[in-house]
Amino acid sequence: MKPMRHPGDAVIYGIVLMAAILAFVCPHLTGRAGDMPRTVVITYDDTRLTFPLEEDCTVPVTTASGHTVMIRIADGHAAVTESTCPDGVCIRTGVIERTGTAIACVPAGVLIEIEGGVTDADAILG
Protein backbone atom coordinates (compact mmCIF):
# COMPACT_ATOMS: atom_id res chain seq x y z
CA MET A 1 0.00 0.00 0.00
CA LYS A 2 1.12 3.50 -0.73
CA PRO A 3 1.39 5.69 2.37
CA MET A 4 0.24 8.73 0.35
CA ARG A 5 -2.98 9.95 -1.26
CA HIS A 6 -5.03 10.08 1.91
CA PRO A 7 -6.84 13.35 2.55
CA GLY A 8 -7.19 12.58 6.25
CA ASP A 9 -3.42 12.77 6.62
CA ALA A 10 -3.39 16.40 5.58
CA VAL A 11 -6.15 17.12 8.10
CA ILE A 12 -4.23 15.42 10.92
CA TYR A 13 -0.98 17.16 10.01
CA GLY A 14 -2.87 20.44 9.86
CA ILE A 15 -4.50 19.97 13.25
CA VAL A 16 -1.26 19.03 14.99
CA LEU A 17 0.62 21.87 13.33
CA MET A 18 -2.11 24.37 14.22
CA ALA A 19 -2.14 23.12 17.81
CA ALA A 20 1.61 23.64 18.01
CA ILE A 21 1.46 27.12 16.50
CA LEU A 22 -1.58 28.23 18.52
CA ALA A 23 -0.10 26.94 21.76
CA PHE A 24 3.10 28.76 20.93
CA VAL A 25 1.46 32.04 19.93
CA CYS A 26 -1.51 32.32 22.30
CA PRO A 27 0.36 32.66 25.60
CA HIS A 28 2.36 35.51 24.08
CA LEU A 29 -0.80 37.29 22.91
CA THR A 30 -2.63 37.02 26.20
CA GLY A 31 0.49 37.67 28.22
CA ARG A 32 0.11 34.52 30.24
CA ALA A 33 3.35 33.00 29.02
CA GLY A 34 5.40 33.57 32.10
CA ASP A 35 2.45 33.89 34.48
CA MET A 36 4.39 35.34 37.40
CA PRO A 37 7.05 37.90 36.50
CA ARG A 38 10.47 36.78 37.54
CA THR A 39 12.17 38.68 40.27
CA VAL A 40 15.69 39.00 41.58
CA VAL A 41 15.82 38.42 45.30
CA ILE A 42 18.88 39.73 47.13
CA THR A 43 19.36 38.44 50.66
CA TYR A 44 22.05 39.69 53.07
CA ASP A 45 22.26 40.06 56.82
CA ASP A 46 18.58 40.24 57.80
CA THR A 47 17.53 42.14 54.68
CA ARG A 48 15.65 40.79 51.72
CA LEU A 49 15.36 43.00 48.62
CA THR A 50 13.24 42.18 45.59
CA PHE A 51 13.66 43.65 42.10
CA PRO A 52 11.86 42.84 38.85
CA LEU A 53 14.18 41.06 36.44
CA GLU A 54 12.74 42.98 33.50
CA GLU A 55 13.80 46.41 34.70
CA ASP A 56 17.43 47.37 34.36
CA CYS A 57 19.11 48.70 37.48
CA THR A 58 22.26 48.52 39.55
CA VAL A 59 21.97 47.70 43.22
CA PRO A 60 24.85 48.43 45.58
CA VAL A 61 24.68 46.34 48.72
CA THR A 62 26.79 47.04 51.77
CA THR A 63 26.69 44.34 54.38
CA ALA A 64 27.25 44.51 58.12
CA SER A 65 30.64 42.83 57.61
CA GLY A 66 31.76 45.84 55.61
CA HIS A 67 31.75 44.28 52.14
CA THR A 68 30.19 46.08 49.20
CA VAL A 69 28.69 44.09 46.33
CA MET A 70 27.39 45.71 43.14
CA ILE A 71 24.56 43.76 41.50
CA ARG A 72 23.63 44.65 37.96
CA ILE A 73 20.23 43.68 36.55
CA ALA A 74 20.01 44.16 32.78
CA ASP A 75 18.45 42.48 29.73
CA GLY A 76 16.73 39.88 31.87
CA HIS A 77 19.97 38.81 33.53
CA ALA A 78 21.44 39.47 36.94
CA ALA A 79 25.14 39.50 37.72
CA VAL A 80 27.60 40.68 40.32
CA THR A 81 29.78 43.31 38.67
CA GLU A 82 31.93 44.43 41.56
CA SER A 83 32.68 43.03 44.97
CA THR A 84 35.07 43.79 47.76
CA CYS A 85 35.24 40.14 48.74
CA PRO A 86 38.71 38.57 48.50
CA ASP A 87 38.26 35.84 45.89
CA GLY A 88 35.58 37.21 43.54
CA VAL A 89 33.81 33.88 43.02
CA CYS A 90 30.53 35.80 42.83
CA ILE A 91 31.80 37.87 39.89
CA ARG A 92 33.12 34.81 38.08
CA THR A 93 29.74 33.07 38.48
CA GLY A 94 28.61 35.32 35.64
CA VAL A 95 25.01 36.05 34.75
CA ILE A 96 21.93 34.21 35.97
CA GLU A 97 18.54 34.33 34.30
CA ARG A 98 16.62 31.10 34.94
CA THR A 99 14.25 30.59 37.84
CA GLY A 100 15.99 28.79 40.67
CA THR A 101 19.51 29.84 39.78
CA ALA A 102 21.56 31.87 42.22
CA ILE A 103 24.81 33.70 42.83
CA ALA A 104 26.32 33.51 46.29
CA CYS A 105 29.00 35.75 47.67
CA VAL A 106 29.95 33.80 50.75
CA PRO A 107 32.59 36.17 52.26
CA ALA A 108 30.15 39.09 52.05
CA GLY A 109 27.14 36.95 52.97
CA VAL A 110 25.06 38.01 49.98
CA LEU A 111 22.75 35.67 48.08
CA ILE A 112 21.16 36.62 44.74
CA GLU A 113 18.38 34.37 43.50
CA ILE A 114 15.87 34.38 40.65
CA GLU A 115 12.33 33.53 41.71
CA GLY A 116 8.91 33.30 40.13
CA GLY A 117 7.98 32.56 36.55
CA VAL A 118 7.28 29.19 35.09
CA THR A 119 9.48 26.43 36.36
CA ASP A 120 11.25 24.66 33.60
CA ALA A 121 9.59 21.52 32.35
CA ASP A 122 12.98 20.03 31.62
CA ALA A 123 13.84 16.80 33.34
CA ILE A 124 10.18 16.20 34.15
CA LEU A 125 9.08 14.43 31.01
CA GLY A 126 10.85 11.19 30.40
Partner 1 sequence: MPMPSLDRSPRFTARCGLLLCLALIFSYLEVRLPLVFIPIPGFKPGFANLVIAFTAYTCGCPTAAVISILRVLISSLLFGSVTGFWFSIAGAGASLLIMTVLLHTVRRYVSPLGICVASAAAHNIGQLTAASVLLSPAVFSYFPVLMAASLFTGTLTGFLLGRLLHSAERIPLLRRISPPDCPPTKKGSQ
Interface map 99-118 toward partner 1 (x if CB under 8 A): -------------------x
Pick 17 or 106: Cβ nearer partner 1: 17
**Residues 34-73 interacting with partner 1 (rule: CB under 8 A):** 35
What length does the chain have? Answer: 126
Considering the complex, what minimum distance in angstroms separates the CB of residue 118 from partner 1? 4
Pick 21 or 57: Cβ nearer partner 1: 21
Strand ranges across the sheet with 68-74: 57-62, 68-74, 77-83
Q: List the one residue from 29, 30, 66, 121 that touches partner 1 (CB under 8 A).
A: 121
Q: List the one residue from 3, 31, 66, 86 that touches partner 1 (CB under 8 A).
A: 3
Determine the Cα–Cα distance for residues 29 and 31; give it in Å rounded to an integer.
Answer: 5
Q: Is 124 one of the binding residues for partner 1 (CB under 8 A)?
A: yes
| Nearest partner of 44 among 25, 65, 24, 18, judged by Cα | 65
Contact partners, residue 71, CB within 8 Å, separation at least 6: 40, 42, 58, 59, 60, 61, 78, 79, 80, 81, 112
Total number of residues that touch partner 1 (CB under 8 A): 30
